[in-house]
Amino acid sequence: MISLKPRSILLISAIFRVGLILVGEWQDTHMEVRYTDVDYLVFSDAASLMASGQSPYKRTTYRYSPLLAFLLIPNSFISRCWGKFLFSASDLFVGLFIRIILKQRKVPDDLCTYSMLIWLFNPFTFTIGTRGNCEPIVCAIILWIIICLINGNVVQAAFWYGLIVHFRIYPIIYVLPIVIFLDPRFFRYGTKPLLSDWTSDPGKARQINSELIDKCAVCDVWKSTFTRSRILFGLISGTVFLLCTGFFFHLYGWEFLHEALLYHLTRTDARHNFSIYFYHIYLNYERELSVLEKLVSFLPQFIVQLVLILCFAKDLVFCFFVQTVAFVAFNKVITAQYFVWFFCVLPLILPWSNMKLKWKGLCCILLWMGAQTHWLLWGYLLEFKGKNVFLQLWMASLLFLAANTFILIVLIRHHNYGPVFRQHTDLKTTKTT
Amino acid sequence: MSTLQYNRLCFHLKLAILWMLFSGAVFCIHVFASTTEVETNSDAGKFIMKSYFENYESLHDSSFEDFMAHQLSSSLCQGIPDNWNVGVRLSVRELSLVGEGSHRHLSSSIRLQIAAASIPKLPAHLCEVIVIQRLPLGVFADPFELQNPHKHKAFRDIAVFGDTNLELPSFQSNRSAVEFHIDAGFNILFMQNNGTEFNLLLPLDARYQPLDESGYSVVEIGEPDMLMRCSVEGKQHKQSCLFMSPPNEKAKSTSATVAWKIPAGMKAHAGFLSVITFVTALLSTLSIVYASMFLSGTKVSKT
């Protein structure tokens, strides 16, 4: 049993991250291999351009919202490390928000602590922020949206959701589960929704589950689509998104729209990455892909997302997790930074999993890391040894997809599915009489 | 969580973050001195390649040689009678490719020779050697890598011109060139009879190549173009002018190229690969759908 207090954990994590940033600066200055992510240089250059009144899109490969460049303007006059500290602070907020969410759902203290540690001391996540990658900001906002929703604060959730979709397109995949989640039986005007508490008893969880399982989530949506909460969420998030997009379009024109939005919607990359589609794209790069080919590559993603939403939307946090894993796994381009998108939600679902670390959990971890390492080995031979191993690398990406699919299925099987909210007693009484 | 606790938490968090930022900023500014940064494309009149791209849209050997022969001739040093008497000789002693894989270094050893009698005529402390390395379609120089001060502190300036898009494959990109400016003053003053040498190490990256049945594509990189530029006293003010090696010494030998073998995709893979890719995606999809609907804790039942 871990006896560390949350404050101590956060303090140690903060000191550790400050140390990493400083070591990273030293490494950048004195060693050939840089610690800092090349993307951080892109953000910083864009921020300098913005600070001097120019468009951040004059910087080639800057494909983010101008908001990010704005946040990094102090890089130019305070310190070039400003952005790294900002991202690392967001990283710490993610750890804090994990604890807040779990405590609100009455998860025991030791499980909360373990969940915090899984995020804060995961080597993958603490290097992301300290190297200058902006994903921790996205993760922190997504978790904050979850906090707002479970506290019934729809307006604030909608505001942040509109903002984060503008900032980073991928959270758009959460819109349908959020709409389903805003069930009028739980979200009633003037009343805070009632949270379902954590329980370690799978039998009790299933009992809670069966009280509220409906005929079909789709039927729910169509029956009571236009509720106050849903309309409010849609209007506010849509307005925030359009305002931000419209404002920056006014400032930077089509260049902003293309680089920050359209590029991500249509992105294909022929260069090797974890996606199973990379070699197919490379072999067909010289010709335009047919409509059928584009549709066939989009369908798996679409079907998986739809089914996961319909099955798990009521358990919103778990739905976010499985959707994100599937979204990344079936995407046409997969880079390592995308893994952070589901890593931040993973600690939130583990208290509801009846999978033991020994040995099933450990096997899943080793399988995922093994499949990744296998891919990286072939990638190393291609990129750093100049061997033609495209075929082997593509097969490694197939194996990686298989590993992701298997682990996702195992997590689904071992998850104690339970809606985040329970019904208000008066409504339940009315239904039973 | 009560409102008071929440507010207290927010306050403590803000303090912690501010402290972290402040201490980190102090360290970053004071402990690690900022290093000189390599300017890229900063001075409009300084770079010869910038002048080239003001007249031509893209880099072609014929256009570039035409530019060097005709447009630069007006910049040759006029004040010193008969430019060639200065006896400037710039030659490539060795050209090689160092490393393996998609990221290598082009190593060039350049010799500068000036006739002894001419050295006093030159404003040595105001001279720089300009080296222009034209790159073929299949490779590019990463401008961000060239900004690494650890590697390039010996150069006065470095810049990349042309297509600097790092992501495009070679069949969708254009050529680029790298221009180095090296301070020659010290070397000229203490030049030995056999001249002085400069060593350049240019980091290069391979683009994705057009498909090839053999599975590899060969890219050839030739010798760089070299000049010397000095600031001389003109009639009214200081101006810079160029020295070039005599024309009969400028012809490059065809053997002075390096070949880089880069992996390329094979068309023969296209047919079966697409089928297997989509079948795998479909199988994964069906597995996840089945697990979600029948193996999870969700139940579809009437209440």
**Residue B198's beta-bridge partner residues?**
B110
Range of the domain at B218: 88-263
% residues pLDDT > 70 (chain B): 61
Helix, strand, or coil (residue B159)? strand
CATH number of the domain residue B216 falls in? 2.60.40
pLDDT of residue B143: 80
For residues B229 and B130, is the Cβ–Cβ distance under 8 A?
Answer: yes
Q: What are phi and psi of B221, to 5 degrees?
A: -115, 125
* Average pLDDT of span B31-45: 39
Q: How many Cβ atoms are within 10 Å of A412's Cβ, its own excluded? A: 23
In chain B, DSSP finds a helix count (H) and a strand count (E) of: 8, 11
Angle, vertex CA A376, rays to CA A373 and CA A382, nearest 5: 150
Residues 91-120 of A with CB under 8 A from B: 92-93, 96, 100, 103-104
Q: What is the rounded distance in angstroms from the CA atom of residue B140 to the CA atom of residue B251?
A: 25
For the stretch A276-307, pLDDT in tens is 999 999 998 877 777 888 888 889 999 999 99
The answer to whether residue B56 scores a pLDDT higher than 60 is: yes
Nearest one of A423, A413, A428 to A202, comparing CA atoms: A413
Q: Is residue B64 part of a domain?
A: no
Q: Is residue B168 part of a domain?
A: yes
Residue in chain B lying closest to A303 (CA):
B285
Tokens found for residue B38:
């390599």
Question: Domains in chain B: how many in total?
Answer: 1
Q: Mutual orientation of helices A362-385 and A390-413 as an angle, nearest 10°?
A: 160
Beta-strand runs (E) in chain B: 88-98, 103-114, 127-135, 139-140, 157-162, 176-183, 196-206, 216-222, 225-233, 238-243, 257-263
Q: Which residue has the higher pLDDT, A235 or B249?
A: A235
Task: Identify the H or E element spanning A421.
Answer: strand A421-422
Q: What is the rounded distance in angstroms from the CA atom of residue A50 to the CA atom of residue A333?
A: 29
Q: Is residue B82 part of a domain?
A: no
Range with the poorest average pLDDT among A250-254, B51-55, B261-265, B295-299:
B295-299
Q: What is the rounded distance in angstroms from the CA atom of residue B97 to the CA atom of residue B77?
A: 34
Nearest Cβ partner for A384 among B101, B147, B273: B101
Chain A residues inside the 8 Å CB shell of B263: 382, 386-390
Q: Which residue has the tokens 């690494």?
A: B148
Residues 22-51 of A with CB under 8 A from B: 22, 25-26, 29-32, 34, 38, 41
The separation between CA A3 and the C-alpha centre of its own chain, rounded to angstroms, equals: 29
For the stretch B251-277, pLDDT in tens is 454 447 899 999 999 989 988 999 999
Strand order in B103-114's β-sheet?
B88-98, B103-114, B196-206, B139-140
Whether the full predicted model's pTM is greater than 0.95, yes or no, is no
Q: What is the rounded distance in angstroms from the CA atom of residue B303 to the CA atom of residue A433?
A: 13
Instruction: List the domain boundaries for chain A.
Output: 6-197+216-414
ipTM of the complex: 0.88
The answer to whether residue A345 scores a pLDDT higher than 90 is: yes
